[in-house]
């Protein structure tokens, strides 16, 4: 009760572990001393001794709470030893029952409180994870809205440039550089059309069956176009080439972005090597990206793909978007660090076909 009074006086602000433990041990000592002088185990108010035990397991970590429990049981056993040398010999068996009943009740109360604390902790962790997912969804929604608005704003000038290029190309003696410019502009128009189609698929939640082998080939093709200078090593380890997965058009850009991040991180090292391995096993397609990179701290490694962080080591917004996209299709992304290497392990569920 001393601790409850102090917490009420401090407007229920929690004390430090050492301070809480000290007050609980003092309360155990004072209560046991008072009961020893007033009937010991036969005192009808001895159940109050359970209060410090319950408070300890509610407010303290495991070992300090165990200290309070052991101290309370030890104080009861000491009283029992003192009663053996007193004039209360006829009531000794009753005292034995009271003390052992207190010990049993204390242990059971501690077990119950620990169980409910674990359940509450699990629920708090689940709520925290849900809040993090909600925050990330809100961030992705804001990014997607900005990207959609940018696409809408860019469509009009692109159409105007297209008309101007058609007029220029109809004139005689067109410069070769202008023809090359028109070819590159056609690629821009194609990318914009693909983006619009992808946005429509996402908005209407349209998914399709994609072959893992074709996805593997598309990754190599896109990387040859986007990073022709990157020293990429592709290796198909094993697995069924006929395996398929269900996804939409956002999966391929997400996987490509993971590899591009690895290339950018490797480019900052003396030996910019990037190895990409593919393996299908146990209804999972595992894509492993191993690249040389500058050492990352444990905090940076734990935040990769989860939060938007300012980083100059090749991870940030792209990793968050890619991670969220892969999770949408039931996949997982894990990052590991081994010496001067960062390993990105992507797993996606697949369906095997013979």
pTM of the predicted protein model:
0.56
Listed residue (52, 38, 71) closest to 2, CA to CA? 52
Other beta carbons less than 10 A from residue 250's beta carbon: 19
> 66-75, 86-95, 334-343: which range is least confident on average?
86-95
pLDDT digits (tens, 9 = 90+) for 177-216: 877 888 888 878 777 777 777 666 666 667 788 888 888 8
- Helix, strand, coil % in the chain, rounded to nearest 5: 65, 15, 20
**327 vs 306, which has greater pLDDT?**
327
Q: How far apart are CA 245 and CA 248, in angstroms?
A: 10
pLDDT digits (tens, 9 = 90+) for 196-205: 776 666 666 6
Q: Does residue 239 surpass a pLDDT of 80?
A: no
The mean pLDDT value for 92-99 works out to 71
Phi and psi at 249, nearest 5°, equal -70, -10
pLDDT digits (tens, 9 = 90+) for 30-67: 887 877 777 665 666 767 778 888 888 888 888 888 88
Q: How far apart are CA 162 and CA 89, in angstroms?
A: 107
> 104-108, 148-152, 320-324: which range is least confident on average?
148-152
Listed residue (196, 228, 209, 219) closest to 287, CA to CA? 219
**120 vs 91, which has greater pLDDT?**
120
Question: Domain 208-349 belongs to what topology?
Answer: Heat Shock Protein 90 (3.30.565)
> 100-109, 290-299, 311-320: which range is least confident on average?
311-320
Q: Where are the beta strands (DSSP E) in 131-283?
A: 208-211, 232-238, 244-247, 274-281
The confidence score (pLDDT) of residue 225 equals: 78
């Amino acid at each position: 009760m001393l601790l409850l009074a102090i917490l009420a006086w401090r407007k229920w602000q929690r004390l430090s572990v050492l301070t809480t433990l000290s007050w609980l041990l003092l309360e155990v000592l004072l209560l046991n001393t008072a009961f020893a002088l007033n009937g010991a185990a036969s005192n009808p108010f001895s159940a109050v001794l359970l209060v410090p035990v319950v408070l300890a397991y509610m407010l303290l970590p495991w070992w300090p709470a165990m200290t309070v429990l052991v101290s309370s049981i030890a104080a009861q056993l000491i009283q029992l030893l003192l009663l053996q040398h007193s004039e209360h010999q006829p009531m000794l068996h009753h005292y034995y029952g009271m003390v052992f009943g207190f010990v049993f009740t204390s242990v059971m109360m501690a077990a119950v409180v620990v169980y409910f604390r674990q359940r509450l902790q699990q629920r708090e962790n689940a709520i925290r994870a849900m809040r993090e997912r909600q925050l990330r969804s809100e961030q992705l929604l804001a990014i997607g809205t900005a990207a959609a608005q940018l696409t809408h704003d860019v469509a009009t000038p692109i159409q105007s440039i297209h008309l101007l290029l058609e007029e220029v190309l109809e004139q005689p003696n067109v410069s070769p550089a202008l023809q090359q410019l028109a070819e590159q502009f056609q690629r821009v128009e194609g990318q914009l059309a693909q983006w619009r189609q992808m946005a429509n698929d996402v908005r209407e939640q349209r998914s399709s069956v994609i072959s893992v082998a074709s996805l593997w080939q598309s990754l190599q093709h896109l990387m040859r176009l986007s990073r022709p200078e990157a020293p990429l090593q592709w290796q198909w380890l094993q697995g069924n080439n006929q395996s398929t997965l269900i996804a939409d058009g956002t999966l391929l850009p997400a996987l490509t972005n993971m590899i591009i991040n690895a290339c950018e991180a490797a480019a900052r090292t003396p030996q910019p090597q990037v190895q990409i391995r593919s393996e299908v096993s146990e209804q999972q397609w595992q894509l492993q990206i191993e690249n040389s990179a500058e050492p990352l701290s444990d905090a940076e490694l734990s935040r990769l793909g989860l939060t938007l962080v300012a980083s100059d080591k090749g991870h940030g917004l792209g990793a968050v978007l890619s991670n969220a996209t892969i999770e949408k299709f039931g996949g997982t992304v894990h990052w590991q660090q081994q010496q001067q290497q960062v390993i990105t392990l992507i797993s996606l569920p697949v369906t095997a076909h013979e």
